[in-house]
Structures are given as structure tokens and as C-alpha cells.
Structure 1
């Protein structure tokens, strides 16, 4: 049994399916197909691949005429998150400070100039959804998202949890708040170690704050996989700040779509980890 938990830009599954249950089924089918022969399609979902879906719980919508990737839509903490991201990517002080009222746009354009328009879009979208999740340690949305994953984990009792992007943040927190037994946690394109924006805002539950970076209780093996060009998987050397990781792989997904879940799921390193459990 495998459970997958998605990252950003997954509200579209709900739009197409009509409800969260249908969205979870569609996501599971897509991830199963990406894993390859033996994992693809409904048959494998029925036999062991399920998705935890939470995008609807973080969806904010946009004002008329606006787009999700507009950095001006970010709130104060989201803008600080964008600045933390740019700092980690090497942005100079003059970009981060800027003129009054302009820094957020300057930061986004710097990312586009140095890392490409797609990277700018991905980072801004990530900051929007991640800030919605992380904004309040006790916020209702945050609690509901963790509960959504907990329900699937407790119902399915998987051996493996595949956690992509923001889903790795959700998974890490959930596994501390509501521990379950797992053979393997596989994080893909994870931003867990980003200082300020992510790492310093994690909630592990009362009495666990000093354990940030350790393997969650109940998890026997933690594998992290990141693409060398993934602007979300910052810092690249996640085990340096999360020593609880047992195995770390740096991979190359190609020059485009370096943060795409299905590209990560198709790498040989994921197949090898799943083969260990057969």
C-alpha cells in the first residue's frame, strides 16, 4: 500500500472531478501511471495506491482580472516568504530592498531573469499556497489539511508515503502530530529546509519543537529526492539541516518541468525504493 500527498497547483483536479473524492482518485491514477507498469490505473489504486487530497482546503480564489501568479496577491508573510526564497537563490540586497511598494515585483522579476519565467511562476504560486497553509500555527486550514492526510494514513495504513513539494511539509508536520507506522517516507522536491520561509515555521506539536530536522516517529526510513535545478527544493543538500534523512538522491529531470510530481515519480530512484519493499 502506497499513499501519495500532492504539492501545489492541484485545485484543477477538483475542478475537473467535481468533488475531493473524485480529485483524489484522478490524482492517484495519474501518479500510478507515472510510477509505471504494475502501478498504473484504477486496478493498482484499488490494490494499494491512494492519494490524500487537500488543495480545496487552501484554495483562496482570485480577484476578477487577477491571476494566481501575481506576486501582488501575496500577503505580508507571503511576500516575506518570497524574499526568503530569493535570498536562498542568491538575490542581491538591492533586489530584496527595492523602492517602497515595489520589492515583491522586483523579487519576482529577478527570479524570472535568473531562473526563468516558469521558475518565477512556480515560486510565486508556491508562496501563495504555502503561506495559506503556514500562516497560522493553529489555523483552521492547517489543521484541516493535516487531518485530511491523517484520515487517509489511518484508513489505508500504507507502507510508503510519497510526499511532493508542499505535500512534504504537510506530511512532515502530520507525522509528528499524528504518528503512524511507515516503512518509508519519500519526499520529492521538498522545500522543508528553506530557512525563515519554511523550516522556521514548522509545527511539530507540543514538546517536539527541538526535534525539527529529525525523522518523524514511526518512520523507519526517510528518502529525499531533489532535482538539481528545482527552485522549490531549496536548499539542495536537505540532509545538512534535516539529519533524520537516511538517503538523499540528487537527480536531473531535464531543463523544464523540474518540479513536476510525475517527473519525480518516474525516476529510477523511486522505483528502486519501492522494489525494496516487494
Structure 2
């Protein structure tokens, strides 16, 4: 397969419906392929970050303490006033979540809480077995499929970026969609690139020939949108508009002409595959 997709958060549902990680990967790959109009395979790791009991998952106070700090750092990056993100006990995290709802809607509030839960599971410990296992699953698929292109969405861009530093893989193109790689305090400072590599943070992964980033102008995950400022290894950066209700949706990103323009020089035309 010439393209491998790396998913972001809220993808455990594929496993819940399909029954096994292998089937979940195929279902997700089929969904992405339909949007992209090109065949691809998927690196599926959602089961490795699933928090287990999801009772109260929509309530910010149920987040681990570090994930609550992550949420407050996130809304600060979005421009929330200091009084929303400062205080004591659980009051500030509730204020931060409510500010998200007022600014972006209740669906965004729920999404941010779920995102912080999964992202915390990944980044809270540089050496956690779950973090290593997610990277290893991505690398296993890449080494088996030997793709020319990786398309990584959301949290998947963080997993893929780290994986490609920990064990470099030959790629013609890395495409990151709605990436939070540069989000201050939440991801950027927490990136783990492996022994001797952390000082190279921001560079293109060693065996990747070209890196393209695409960010929706209203995507609350893609912060800062001007990712090349922190990641000069990015060769091309496109800002797009997916619409208010779909500003972070992977399949909407995949339909963008900018994605096809980047793929076209490297791969056969869709109708010839």
C-alpha cells in the first residue's frame, strides 16, 4: 500500500464495532480511502490509549490532574482570559470547559475533554509503555506496508512524528492534518524523540523527504496554525477552511484539493489504481 493513515482521538469506536484491532484498522482505512479517493492502509492504536471506564467522561473534573492542567493550558492558548484559567481546586477546569462551550459550542467542550483524556494518556509519561506501544504499532505498519506517504491526523501527527524519530522510516511525503504538535505546554514541550534527538525537535524526521502541514483556520486543535514557526522542517503549509462544524474532522481534511495536489506527483492517478 502506497499510503498509510495514522488516526487521531475518538477512534476506539471502530474497535467497539469491528471487534478486533485488525478489523478496526480496515474499517477506518476504508472510510479514509473513500474521502481521499485513493486506497490506503491504517495504523490503528486506539485500543492502546483507551482509558477503560468512561463513566463521567464528559465532565472536566473527572480528568486526571495533569489532564486538567492540559485543558487549562489549551484554553489559554486559544485566548481565554486569565481569570478562566487561574484559581484553585476544580473550579478553574470547570470554568475552562465552560469557556470552550460559550466560545465554540457544547460539542467542542465535550471534544476537548475527551481529547485531553486521550492525549494525557499518551504524553503524561515520556517512558510509558502505552506511549511506546502506540509508536511501535505505527512503526510496525510502516515497516510492513513500506508506503511512500504517511497521512497523520490530530494526535496521530504527534504519534507519527515521534515514531519517525525513534526509528526512522523512508518516506517520500509526510502529511499532517489538524496537528497540535506546536501547542504550548500541551504537546510541544512534551515531545519525546528518542536518545540524542530532542535537540532536533522541529526538524523534518530523518528519512522523510518532504513534510506538508494542513490546518483549518477554525480548528481548535491545530494551535498554533502557523506550525512552521516552531517546526522549520515543514516544507509546505496550507491553511484551509472546512466549515465551522467540521473544522477538525479527518475525512473533511482528506477531501481537500491541497492534499491531492501533494499526492499527485508521487502516486498514480486515482482512477488508475
- Whether TM-score is above 0.5 comes out as yes
Q: What corresponds to 1:121 in structure 2?
A: 110
1:189–1:227 CA contact under 8 A, matched in 2: yes
Q: 1:100 to 1:175 in 2, by over 3 A?
A: same
Mind listing any 5+ residue stretches in structure 2 that lack a counterpart? Answer: 268-273
1:98–1:106 CA contact under 8 A, matched in 2: no
Matched position secondary structure for 1:182 = coil
Matched position secondary structure for 2:214 = strand
Deviations 1:230-254 (A, max 9, x none): 0000011000111100000000001
TM-score by length of 2: 0.95
1:239 corresponds to which of 217, 228, 240: 228
Within a 5 Å distance, the mapping from 1:154-193 to structure 2 comes to 154-193=143-182
Q: What corresponds to 1:56 in structure 2?
A: 47
Are 1:19 and 2:8 counterparts? Answer: no
2:214–2:238 CA contact under 8 A, matched in 1: yes
RMSD: 1.0
Deviations 1:182-216 (A, max 9, x none): 00000000000011110000000011111111100
Are 1:255 and 2:244 counterparts? Answer: yes
Aligned-pair distance for 1:114? 1.3
2:61–2:90 CA contact under 8 A, matched in 1: no
The separation in 1 between residues aligned to 2:187 and 2:257, in whole angstroms, is 28
Q: What corresponds to 1:71 in structure 2?
A: 60
Q: 1:205 to 1:254 in 2, by over 3 A?
A: same
Aligned-pair distance for 1:70? 1.8
Deviations 1:45-93 (A, max 9, x none): xxxx1100000000112354x2x33212211111111111011101111
Q: What corresponds to 2:264 in structure 1?
A: 275
TM-score by length of 1: 0.94
The separation in 2 between residues aligned to 1:63 and 1:183, in whole angstroms, is 39
The separation in 1 between residues aligned to 2:167 and 2:65, in whole angstroms, is 30
Q: What corresponds to 1:104 in structure 2?
A: 93
The separation in 1 between residues aligned to 2:254 and 2:58, in whole angstroms, is 25
Give 4+ residue runs of structure 1 displaced > 2 Å after superposition. 61-64, 98-101
The separation in 2 between residues aligned to 1:265 and 1:215, in whole angstroms, is 22
Deviations 1:163-199 (A, max 9, x none): 0000000000000001000000000000000111100
Matched position secondary structure for 2:233 = coil
Q: Which moved more, 1:89-98 or 1:237-246?
A: 89-98
Matched position secondary structure for 1:256 = helix
